[in-house]
Chain A
Amino acid sequence: MNMIIGLGVVLVVAILYMIFRIGRLMEVAKEKKEDDNAWNNINAILFLLFMVFGLIGFFYYSFKHYGTYEPPVASEHGVVTDNLFWITMAITVVAFVAIFIVMFWFTYIYRYDKNRRAAFFADNHYLEITWTVIPATVLALLIFKGLRVWGDITGPASKEAVVIEMIGQQFAWTARYPGVKDRELGHHNYKLIDASNEFGLDLTDKNSFDDFKSLTLYLPKGKEVLLKIRAKDVIHSVFLPHFRVKMDAVPGMQTQFKFTPTKTTEEMRTETGNAKFNYEMACTEVCGRGHFSMRFPVIVVEPEEYEKWMASQTPWLKQNPDYMKYVPANLKEAAAIKAGLSLDGIQTANSVSLK
């Protein structure tokens, strides 16, 4: 079968070559002074057609399929950056369309004509100054607006912000929440990471006792969220398309991004008319074989519901009571209380580990 296809291809190529050769020979044989201008006109007309149909296609698709390419926005700053995006779009589309039309109009009307001579028009300072100053002014406005927005987005988070840690590794995300008892994330150290202690949780820090792990990013609506982002192995990147959030997760360095979700998952389901809608988090920095599969579910709920969910979670230490042995003796009691472990449990765990 492959051989037949191969032979077919060879045959087609050979026929094309023959047609080309015959065409060339005919040209030579006829010795007709070819009318180059015919081809010149064809090319000029093609440019014009390209311009017209290109622009029609561009506008048609952009308007008709607006809903398919514009992801709904669900964060406070996202509305602002989207706004800036569409302002930039308006400016660039006007400039693009104007230049596009002018350029291809020129290629059409100034196509070669042997009775005409081109203008000797080498420079004009007024023109050049005009089109230096106009783009510069427009850009200055865009920069001005852009920098203000950027400043707001990257500015320090408020003290009340909900802090959540996102940890990237090949090829999964995990979230670490500070427990409801202290509302602070405990320290971590990559050297403490092992099969159970995937955060590298430093149990000498009392804030770590009630930290818990989640495989879903729960977010309260209307509250500022500060994501603290790190990676264990290679660079990953947190991308929350609906919240217009993106920040790399870098091993050896903590990064962060603050934002305020404005719509719960339920509200978004109503808005999009898609009963199965879910927020998602993706990885946008190439990280290896499974880069494309680093999906992490995201759920936005009302603040009360969020609190309920927080309270219902089990601290990591409670799930791994044998790690109590790493807690310094003077903190053991505090740890047990924060993690919700009974002291018996600790003793059992200790005796287990002693065996």
Chain B
Amino acid sequence: MENHSHEEHGHEHHGNFWTTYIFSEDHKVIAKQFLITGMIWALIGGTLSVIFRLQLGFPNANLSWLKPLLGGWITAEGKIDPEFYLALVTMHGTIMVFFVLTAGLSGTFSNFLIPLQVGARDMASGFMNMLSYWFFFASSCVMFTSLFISTGPAAGGWVIYPPLSALPQAISGSGLGMTLWLVSMALFIISSLLGSINYITTVINLRTVGMSFTKLPLTIWAFFFTAIIGILSFPVLFAAALLLIFDRSFGTSFYLSDIYIGGEALPNEGGSPILFQHLFWFLGHPEVYIVLLPALGITSEIISTNSRKPIFGYKAMVGSMLFIAVLSFVVWAHHMFVTGMNPFLGSIFTLLTLIIAVPSAVKIFNYVTTIWRGNLRFTPAMLFSIGLVSFFLTGGITGLFVGNSAVDIQLHDTYFIVAHFHLVMGAASFFGMVAGVYHWFPKMFGRMMNDKLGYIHFWISFIGIYMVFFPMHYIGIAGFPRRYYTWTNFETFGGFTDLNMVVSVSAIISVGAQFIFLFNFIYSIFRGKLAPANPWQSNTLEWTTPRHPQHGNWPGEIPTVYRWPYDYSKPGAKEDYIPQHIPFSETPESNLPHESELIKLEGMDNTIRVEEKKHH
């Protein structure tokens, strides 16, 4: 176990600094690039949320001390400009959904884990993979730039509904800021598609000998489904954005009709703002699962490993993910129950939406059963995974309210929705991402992260995030609309100043706690304890690589896979885990009857491999 030798440089391709660290085609380096860019974005997105939470929690506070940072966006009275407030919530949403939880999560872990866990030397196309990151980087630069322009960044909400997003007269953020948003998203979509194609191709074609689909770790299944969802839905957002660009710049009327603004009637007629909403949510809803499924995959792996127990219902887990992936395409209009869409569609989408709760429930039950009679080791990764399940439960169950069109009438666009989706997709996916970093850090950087700091980070974040989002349910039931700069104009929304303050303070603490993680991350890269070869006694293939896997991952042959990844605590086995590459012939004491049968086939696997080698 204590394999500290890292002198296996069999496969090393020496490149210069630029080709090794910057324009690298190695999936591990690209994964780290995605991770670090994603972390920077998470900090920016988190900071934006703190700024608008200051406004909501302390509406009377003098914020002129933010002037050095925000300049003219702080009014003379020391208040946040109401339009900039909208820009803040818009950019917070955009950044978190796309840049952190899509690129930062899928980009990091799909890239890092797919080749390592399926037993491949690299992605199917290293070059496309590199392009994927650099398109993301370009997209990030454009979006980042938009934060600093004088008319402000896009401010019409992350869903950019036209006409608000189409008309600079309506809000100044819909000027250059919106143009940059659209350009940035176009680049982002290209990046996402390049990545997804690679993930799918790699999973299908580059699995090592013996790694059949039924032996794939759940992480890979999750990344695989995510990539498929992405490839089918992102082009629709691209189309929606393109039509919006036409409406904005070339006088078309896809989304615009009968508008009188700024003292003039616009010539556009016959367009439909609802069309945009359909197109947007055709991506927008699958996007929820693009964000969530990788986190669930990561959690499945971590919970099983640290429970020292096979994941309960492997087939049901894959099946429910497949079911969720399919259903995710036919529930989009539940975001639109009160947009004036035909009520009959509302009925259909209520039905389909509530059906999607079934596979989600199955996943929760399976996680809980995995923990049952396990032998739980609370590594930081495990803590965050359990936190994810808790958030997924808390946030998911409120979906039964808002998915039901009749109940949604009152709750739509209130803080109830904010609480719902932040818990179920925001916090849950974020925890999945953090869990993944804690778990695979030893493989990424060859060192261990400090687990005490990890515990502190977890407990502050876990309780903090609950304190942020749980009270929002009450605020939402009371009818408080979201994206409000202040509620003081209404008698109905007069209360809850105390609760809003609690939320804001918790948000600040929760964001602050992420600096513990940041410190731990940076510190451990350089001075963490050296990582053993397989620090978590895990079964998957990535732990068979050297401490610092070079380009090509395995110095020699890629291991052959004989068994599924969840042979933990198998009765009769010496250790409480049997890695995937251990043949059944070596573990006669723990083989199940049908597995002993498989021993006969093991030699044949080798012949296949020999033949393959001859071909090359």
Contact = CB atoms under 8 A, between A and B. Distances in A.
A241 B479 contact: yes
Interface stretch (A99-107, A216-224, A315-323): A99-107
Interface string A14-30: 00010010011000000
B339 A250 contact: yes
Interface string B249-288: 0000000111111010100011111100000000000000
B538 interface: no
Interface stretch (B234-242, B289-297, B429-437, B490-498): B490-498
Nearest to B520: A20
A244 B404 contact: no
B273 A96 contact: no
B257 A235 contact: no
Interface stretch (A109-117, A158-166, A333-341, A343-351): A109-117
Given A117-B576, A139-B355, A235-B273, A288 B478 contact: no
A40 B414 contact: no
Contacts of B569: 117-120
A241 B412 CA distance: 11
Contacts of B367: 103
B455 A193 contact: no
Interface size grouping (class) on chain B: 35 or more
A75 to B, nearest CB: 11
Contacts of B491: 276-278, 280
B126 interface: no
Given A43-B455, A142-B404, A233-B170, A150 B350 contact: yes
Contacts of B171: 288-289
A111 B340 contact: no
Interface residues of A, number: 112
Contact of A44 (B378, B451, B495): B378
Interface stretch (A124-132, A179-187, A203-211): A124-132
B571 A120 contact: yes
Interface in A1-38: 2, 17, 20, 23-24
Interface string B366-388: 11110111111110000100100
B163 A92 contact: no
B308 interface: yes
A237 B409 contact: no
B343 interface: yes
Contacts of A327: none
Contacts of B39: none
B365 A143 contact: no
Interface in B467-509: 470, 474-475, 477-479, 481-487, 489-493, 495-496
Nearest to A297: B491
B208 interface: no
Contact of B376 (A2, A44, A200, A237): A44
A252 B389 contact: no
Contacts of A84: 404, 406-407
Contact of A293 (B263, B400, B489): B489
Given A81-B406, A110-B372, A147-B351, A252 B258 contact: yes
Contacts of B156: 286, 288
Contacts of B571: 120
B349 to A, nearest CB: 11
Interface string A46-88: 1100100010001001100100111100000010110011001
B219 to A, nearest CB: 18
Interface in A270-293: 276-278, 280, 282-293
Contacts of B389: 103
A102 B365 CA distance: 10
Given A61-B474, A123-B314, 6 more contacts: A71-B479, A96-B393, A122-B310, A170-B170, A233-B259, A295-B490
